[in-house]
Structure 1
Amino acid sequence: MAMLLGRRGFVTGALASTVSLAGCVSENVGGNGSLITRGSPKNAFGNWTLHERNSTANYAYSVVPDFTGTASSSELERFELRHGDCGGVDCQTDRQRYERMDLGGEMNQRASYSISFFLPSNQRIGGPFTHIFQFFEKGAPNVPLMVNVMGWQKSVSWLYAEFATATGREKVKLAKSSDIFGRWNTIDLDVHWANDGFYKAKLNGQTVLDENTKTMFGTDRNLNIFHYGLYMGGVGRYEREFGSVPTRTIYFSKVEKYI
């Protein structure tokens, strides 16, 4: 029987009652298949771990009312990165980010995820490649899965999934960026985390990814960490070629996991 675990909160097993992650406060969540809210109404998005290299700007993360009137929740998480917003060694390695993290998946686990996001249409589509969520397995040769908004200065920009395989990496275009900006979008992702696993994804109800591949590499305790928010790579290169990095803003109304 599938169990819905954690509105904005993930647990390690179908009947687990405690979440514990390095840098994150343990929290009793328990439940019998019901949607579990973490945190008080004032902080409804739970005790997530913040990446140590996050931007320290006071506008980088906030919780705001639903200004669209069509979100799946009355409050939204807002992330923003501007030119020069970097932290720690990211400032020397061409990166900028503000990400929240929690347990993503474990070896031989079947899990589903639902992520609803809104990219305002008043921002430039071009810019450094921007990840809106990713699964990171420490020690693996590649990041198992990331979903990016492909920017740069291309005439047509794409939302795409990039994932590791046993021999390298593959990219799959999910939608034109022009078709997803200025509206709510939901990615429903079904994954078998295994040596012979799979990724299956729907974007707004339409199948966009169906791939049998290696999804877990068996490193770092056979688990991966889920990141969501904003991560921009190749920032220095973009700046050298095109000038100032454009501001990027995203809103999330739902981040859920089912096991």
Structure 2
Amino acid sequence: MFSILPILVFSICMGLVMPAAADSAPRGYQLNETPHKHGFRYTNSGEPVRRGRVAERFEVRNGDCGGSDCRAPRYRSEIRLSKSQTQARVGQDIWYGWSFYNESIPAFPDNVNLMPVMGQWKMGGDNLPIFKLTYHGGRKAIEVQLDDMARAKGWGKAQRHGHVCSLIGLNATTGRWTDFVVNTNFSTQSDGYLRIWVNGYLKCDYKGPLVATTSTRLYPGPNHRRGIFVSFTKRWDKLKGKTPKPTMVAYYDEFLVGQSREDVDTRLRAKSGLPAKD
């Protein structure tokens, strides 16, 4: 059993100053295999912001990699919650909310799909994500994939390799803000649930186990990462040769963790007159 800890609502922008050319991760976060100066910063004047003064900007360019990613090969611009700020626990209810703006992540065709990931939760290290928001080339959509369960249960084509929900077409997120709300209990049992609202509409209502790997050696519970994570680079190289992979840019804003939808839902918070979490 994991002890129940109080969940404090907190913001991606807590304690920020005006953005600079290259910024450190927000308070309570760490850069995750993101050594390049262009990889992460806060927005400058004129760039997209959902609410308040600033948002987070992520960029990945052809050839970017850091740490173990360089041997994979894969690359990313990503931040992760620190161990002390990881509030999720296996088997306990939790809510997340944030806004996402796709500037230039393209709708790759399947044969060269780099399968960009725009948010993931995992137990850290080499463990597979419990769930991630990833682009599916065939359906041209951001989908929910349960990687950890798919491997543990041997889910194959019949189970769509763990793709349990299709959330929104990737092109529908380009040049505009998309609001996400997640409610889950990260359960290992049949009482598990994962509900995701997109722009106020329920788009995922999965019921069943979510977590197979429960080791707390690295984190006390499921650890959140966001940004742009790119893999499956070999399929591009096979068909495109030395053609550079496209530069991808995305923005995130108002990322919140809490005990209820009212704590984290950007739209509800704005409607209630609650301030932006800068």
Deviation at 1:4, TM superposition (A): 5.1
TM-score by length of 2: 0.72
Q: Cα deviation per residue 1:29-51 (whole Å; 9 max; x = unaligned)?
A: xxxxxxxx632444793231121
For the residue of structure 1 that corresponds to 2:88, the secondary structure is strand
For the residue of structure 2 that corresponds to 1:105, the secondary structure is coil
User: Which of 167, 179, 183 in structure 2 is aligned with 1:186?
Assistant: 179
User: Which of 196, 199, 205 in structure 2 is aligned with 1:201?
Assistant: 196
Aligned to 1:81: 60
* Runs of 4+ residues over 4 Å off in structure 1: none
For the residue of structure 1 that corresponds to 2:188, the secondary structure is coil
Ranges in structure 2 where 5+ consecutive residues have no aligned partner = 1-5, 20-24, 156-160, 260-278
CA change 1:93–1:140 in 2 (3 A) is closer
Q: Cα deviation per residue 1:164-185 (whole Å; 9 max; x = unaligned)?
A: 4362442121111122211100
User: Which of 209, 228, 231 in structure 1 is aligned with 2:229?
Assistant: 231
Structure number having the greater helix percentage:
2
- Residue 133 of structure 2 is aligned to residue 147 of structure 1: yes
Aligned to 1:105: 88
Q: Cα deviation per residue 1:68-113 (whole Å; 9 max; x = unaligned)?
A: 6761232111100011011122112121012111125212221000
- Residue 15 of structure 2 is aligned to residue 45 of structure 1: no
- Residue 215 of structure 2 is aligned to residue 219 of structure 1: yes
CA change 1:40–1:124 in 2 (3 A) is closer
Aligned to 2:75: 96
Aligned to 1:60: 39
Aligned to 1:131: 117
Counterpart AA for 1:39: G
RMSD: 2.5
Q: Cα deviation per residue 1:112-147 (whole Å; 9 max; x = unaligned)?
A: 000211002x55322511111000124786421000
Q: Structure 1 vs Structure 2: percent identity of aligned residues?
A: 18
For the residue of structure 2 that corresponds to 1:143, the secondary structure is coil
- Residue 1 of structure 2 is aligned to residue 5 of structure 1: no
Ranges in structure 1 where 5+ consecutive residues have no aligned partner = 9-36
Q: How many residue pairs end up in the alignment?
A: 224
Task: State the distance in 1 between where 2:119 and 2:17 align.
Answer: 24
Task: State the distance in 1 between where 2:250 and 2:92 align.
Answer: 29
Contact 1:131 1:149 survives alignment (8 Å): yes
